[in-house]
Structure 1
Amino acid sequence: YQGVYPVKGNQDRFVVEDIVKFGSSFRFGLEAGSKPEILLAMSCLCKGNPDAFLVCNGFKDAEYISLALLGRKLALNTVIVLEQEEELDLVIELSQKMNVRPVIGLRAKLRTKHSGHFGSTSGEKGKFGLTTTQIVRVVRKLSQSGMLDRLQLLHFHIGSQIPSTSLLSDGVAEAAQLYCELVRLGAHMKVIDIGGGLGIDYDGSKSGESDLSVAYSLEEYAEAVVASVRFVCDRSSVKHPVICSESGRAIVSHHSVLIFEAVSADKPMVHQATPDDIQFLLEGDEEARANYEDLYAAVMRGDHESCLLYVDQLKQRCVEGFKEGVLSIEQLASVDGLCEWVLKAIGASDPVHTYNINLSVFTSIPDLWGIDQLFPIVPIHKLDQRPGTRAILSDLTCDSDGKINKF
């Protein structure tokens, strides 16, 4: 096994340098998906294990491929993974011009995919990768160019947050069969790169049904991968490959903790309506009076379901009256107080506090807003007390989306 860390997961210099440093004894490498990332990875891997992979993924133009080939001149174990068929012509041309023997991989579009939130990045409709038809053409072109021995790695990606080992096993088995076919066609295959997908249990459910959890442990994930590769390779009498993975979130998602302060709290306050406050309901609009009388009767007979209906009707009618200028703001507040009192009396009130927290959601946890990512959030004091208050967290920005209401 030789893993690589995809630097897009966290491009912080100290994070990447530490991964290279502490992964050196395991020949742990890096994966880059753009020109800035390959420069970052090359500079870090110069201090790493010389056998560690530098896997070059993503869209590649001539400059990108030249950088990757330069990496081999610097004695880095660079692998250029073909994501699009036309990239091969550039690799052949530039490697001959620079007099470098490249190590080439290809990314396959598997038929296996998962249907979760992150599943759209995989399968035949995925953004990157080669179809079986394109793979056959690539093999033929490499053979004609006398470079088939340089094809040594097969890469695929089922999707992030793979929910179950059964899906993982299906995808790895499909890729392993493709690996064996490439060996049969004459490629000097050595590595199968299973991509990312090792999931994180964000919500604590340990469920394959959730986009924010997985139904396996790290050991079960590894066992599923190894067993699938071994079975297919043994069946075809193919030498077992080096297994590479590109697990980003599984490596760095636990590396930091954000501590923030709740600077104040907004508690829902109910206006206690008096008989005088709601006298106008009996003297004014007939529809409002009828709604009030229906609500009063439902409360007296303990009909909670009807209470909810009449509360809603009364509030709607009074809001309309306020918009028409018939009710004053004090009268509207009295109706709100009456309705909240009724809901509380029948056990249907659900007051939610708002804690104002000293951070910006958009700066500190943008994924929560951008892709509905769920983050584990826990208090750091009063841990000996049972929580008894429902609340949302509101940041200090003036943007209405700056809140956390899923936990």
Structure 2
Amino acid sequence: MSKPAEWSVEVSKQLYGLEHSIRGEYLTIDETGALVLKIGDESVRIIDLMKKYGFETAYIRFLPAIKSTMKKVFETFKTLSQIHGYTGKFQPVFPMKVNPIPLVIDAIWRYGEEFNWGFNSGSIGELRLLHRYLDKGSRLLIYDGVVSDNVLKLLMDFKKAGWHVIVDVESEHDLQVLSKYGEINVGIRVKPFYKPGGKWSHSAGLEGKFGLTINTLLKLIKEYKWLNERAILIHIHGGSQIYELKHIAAIFDEARILFNDLRSIGFENISIIDTGGGMAYPYHDSRKGTPESPNYTIVDYLNLLIRKFNDVHPHPTLVFEGGRYIVASHRIVVAKVVDVRPYSTEYKPFETGNGERLIGIPESLEGIKKILQYTRDIQSKIKGKTLTLAERERVEDIITHYREEIIVKLAEIIRSNPSSVENIINDPLLYKILTSPSRRFIVNLSLFADIPDSVLVNQYFQVTPIQKLNEKPDVLAVLGDLTCDSMGELREFISDVEIETSVDSWFNRMDFRISHLPKKYLKLGGIPLHLPGKDEDYYLAFLDTGAYQDPLAMKHNLIYGAPEIVIDINGSGKPVIKVLKHGRKSYL
């Protein structure tokens, strides 16, 4: 039997989510413990980039990640279609709302040429941005925003330039406008009856924002006789980031039935099915079927899609809209830790003149729980009372002393009897204290500006140090940004390490909190990090911020516009790095 591992780079890779089906292809740790980007045959240490350009905060855009995910999607479909004998076309499109900044749209255009990657637009502003590619080639363009004469005039430019333009209809207003533009093909967008799980489930169902109900559609078919001639696409969107495959299957089933039924009542020109953008990105790759970790892969998703439509003849063209999946991994936010503070009160052990502890902690778990309850009772009894400075100091010292001594005692119990960890982590009170933060790291960024979904929808983003990854973490820390808003904090961390490690490595070096347990899926109350040394520049990376974060960025406290380090590959496979400073060097 092999000896359990001490701390190593391999443990860090699993703890910080670097053995990942997407980002794992280009992000790893070198022998010095530094986070590195693999670029062809070369590698670049992220800390070297930050120091070279003198940035305390930066967005690192690794554009080859976009090409890599596009290729993965396209080749996966190609392989599966051959296995199943599916003869229908595969038509990927990029929903521009996911990230409409010119840098990303240009990457989609360039990298998407070999895959005929199209675009999905929902506003006149997006159409104007895309207009610069009007005469550079032709792609599929699906428009599903509010229709107006101004929108249709722009879409006619694309049509005349040879683009394949389809406008989704969602209301009678859309049909009234489209009646004047007979050259434009239309798609019929229908509300899914089924409501999947997830943070965006409200967008499906009869009350959902997008699409026509069936009774409205049947009424409009009678009033607009031309609809069955010009309709070539069915669109049904079940919501974003659908994390369970069974919910994906239900949406596909609805789409298939709708497709067949509409063709049976005279919509013979319908040959394209767009099942929306439900494909979930694995912000954590543990496949648990949670909002941050879908229980399926791109292989599972496309395999299901093909199987659901394999008995429809002739095989329809299948549209793939997974924009989040394509661009999430390309952007990394890197920021320097500028201050380290106690999370709560600072620990000061009570000792006699001989160094002996004045207050002992019981050996039994039940005794420990009674002490924890006692500290809660103290806070409850003094609630609303006015304390002198001396009284306040004494109360804080007692509560902190008990909390920290209990954590040390629990660590001792586990070290002497590792099997006891099961009883401890299965007790909510003991689990919470062993996975609680001990420090607050102030980081040179704004969550509102740089990672807004962490505030808006509590989206999980993987955090990792960019150095010291060959060392055991020191503490569990909550991350506070530079804003004056109490929501500007990030604390959730998923620990999922499969390697068998020694008992000693389970605990942080300084605060004795648990950083991981082998083969246990844990949600920690803080992020395992190292305490920066004196005068040390210590940086953190926030991964997978390439979808939605750019267009949603706010100017909260007028903190915005981080400099960017853009990495691409030239025709010889060599890295090309350029810097966009956006007018500022740092937040401080």
TM-score range, shorter chain: 0.7 to 0.9
1:182 corresponds to 2:262 = yes
Which of the residues 237, 249, 264 maps onto 2:324? Answer: 249
- How many Å apart are 1:60 and its aligned residue? 1.8
* Ranges in structure 1 where 5+ consecutive residues have no aligned partner: 276-295
Check 1:77–1:185 CA distance in 2 against 1; reply closer, same or farther (3 A cut). Answer: same
Which of the residues 404, 417, 428 maps onto 1:344? Answer: 404
Which of the residues 245, 264, 277 maps onto 1:196? Answer: 277
Which of the residues 122, 132, 146 maps onto 2:214? Answer: 132
Q: Give the distance between the partners of 1:226 and 1:220, measured in 2 at CA.
A: 10
1:200-219 map, 5 Å: 200-208=281-289, 210-219=290-299
RMSD: 2.6
1:16-27 map, 5 Å: 16-27=105-116
Pick the structure with more strand per residue.
2
1:111 corresponds to 2:193 = yes
The amino acid that maps onto 1:87 is D
1:87-126 map, 5 Å: 87-92=174-179, 94-95=180-181, 100-126=182-208
- How many Å apart are 1:312 and its aligned residue? 2.8
Which of the residues 486, 489, 498 maps onto 1:400? Answer: 486
Check 1:300–1:252 CA distance in 2 against 1; reply closer, same or farther (3 A cut). Answer: closer
Per-residue CA deviation, residues 50-103 of structure 1 (Å, 9 max, x unaligned), is 2x21100022233223332343223221111002233112101x21xxxx5111
1:321-340 map, 5 Å: 321=385, 323=386, 327-340=387-400
1:86 corresponds to 2:150 = no
What residue number does 2:309 align with? 229
Identity of aligned residues (%): 27
- How many Å apart are 1:377 and its aligned residue? 0.9
Check 1:198–1:46 CA distance in 2 against 1; reply closer, same or farther (3 A cut). Answer: farther
SS at match of 1:346: helix
The higher radius of gyration belongs to 1
What residue number does 1:270 align with? 347
The amino acid that maps onto 1:380 is I
The amino acid that maps onto 1:270 is Y
Which of the residues 283, 298, 303 maps onto 2:367? Answer: 303
- How many Å apart are 1:45 and its aligned residue? 4.7
SS at match of 2:335: coil
SS at match of 1:2: strand
- How many Å apart are 1:338 and its aligned residue? 2.2
Which of the residues 144, 154, 162 maps onto 1:57? Answer: 144
Contact 1:319/1:332, CA 8 A, preserved across alignment: no
What residue number does 1:371 align with? 457
| TM-score when normalising by structure 2 | 0.59
Q: Give the distance between the partners of 1:351 and 1:257, measured in 2 at CA.
A: 24
The amino acid that maps onto 1:15 is V
- How many Å apart are 1:37 and its aligned residue? 1.2
What residue number does 1:35 align with? 124
The amino acid that maps onto 1:387 is P
The amino acid that maps onto 2:485 is D
Q: Give the distance between the partners of 1:109 and 1:84, measured in 2 at CA.
A: 12
- How many Å apart are 1:391 and its aligned residue? 0.7
What residue number does 1:283 align with? none
Per-residue CA deviation, residues 236-279 of structure 1 (Å, 9 max, x unaligned), is xx31111112111011101111111112211352245579xxxx
Check 1:204–1:4 CA distance in 2 against 1; reply closer, same or farther (3 A cut). Answer: same
What residue number does 1:289 align with? none
What residue number does 2:247 align with? 167
Check 1:345–1:27 CA distance in 2 against 1; reply closer, same or farther (3 A cut). Answer: closer
- How many Å apart are 1:226 and its aligned residue? 0.9
Contact 1:41/1:54, CA 8 A, preserved across alignment: no
- How many Å apart are 1:341 and its aligned residue? 1.7
Number of equivalenced pairs? 370
- How many Å apart are 1:298 and its aligned residue? 9.6
Per-residue CA deviation, residues 177-201 of structure 1 (Å, 9 max, x unaligned), is 2112222233211211111011011
Check 1:76–1:270 CA distance in 2 against 1; reply closer, same or farther (3 A cut). Answer: same
What residue number does 2:447 align with? 361
- How many Å apart are 1:152 and its aligned residue? 0.4
Q: Give the distance between the partners of 1:176 and 1:300, measured in 2 at CA.
A: 62
Contact 1:200/1:250, CA 8 A, preserved across alignment: yes
Contact 1:271/1:333, CA 8 A, preserved across alignment: no
Q: Give the distance between the partners of 2:129 and 2:369, measured in 1 at CA.
A: 63
| TM-score when normalising by structure 1 | 0.83
The amino acid that maps onto 2:398 is L
The amino acid that maps onto 2:406 is I
Q: Give the distance between the partners of 1:59 and 1:33, measured in 2 at CA.
A: 7
Check 1:344–1:377 CA distance in 2 against 1; reply closer, same or farther (3 A cut). Answer: closer
The amino acid that maps onto 2:171 is Q
- How many Å apart are 1:41 and its aligned residue? 2.5
Q: Give the distance between the partners of 1:367 and 1:33, measured in 2 at CA.
A: 20
Q: Give the distance between the partners of 2:240 and 2:437, measured in 1 at CA.
A: 37
* Ranges in structure 2 where 5+ consecutive residues have no aligned partner: 1-89, 353-358, 408-432, 494-588
Check 1:351–1:38 CA distance in 2 against 1; reply closer, same or farther (3 A cut). Answer: closer
Contact 1:108/1:131, CA 8 A, preserved across alignment: yes
Check 1:21–1:45 CA distance in 2 against 1; reply closer, same or farther (3 A cut). Answer: farther
Contact 2:284/2:292, CA 8 A, preserved across alignment: yes
Q: Give the distance between the partners of 1:57 and 1:312, measured in 2 at CA.
A: 55
Contact 2:165/2:185, CA 8 A, preserved across alignment: yes
What residue number does 2:534 align with? none
Pick the structure with more helix per residue.
1
SS at match of 2:478: strand
Q: Give the distance between the partners of 1:164 and 1:64, measured in 2 at CA.
A: 36
Which of the residues 277, 286, 300 maps onto 1:220? Answer: 300
1:4 corresponds to 2:93 = yes
Check 1:118–1:328 CA distance in 2 against 1; reply closer, same or farther (3 A cut). Answer: same
- Decide which moves more: 111-120 or 3-12: 111-120
Check 1:215–1:300 CA distance in 2 against 1; reply closer, same or farther (3 A cut). Answer: closer
- Decide which moves more: 248-257 or 114-123: 114-123
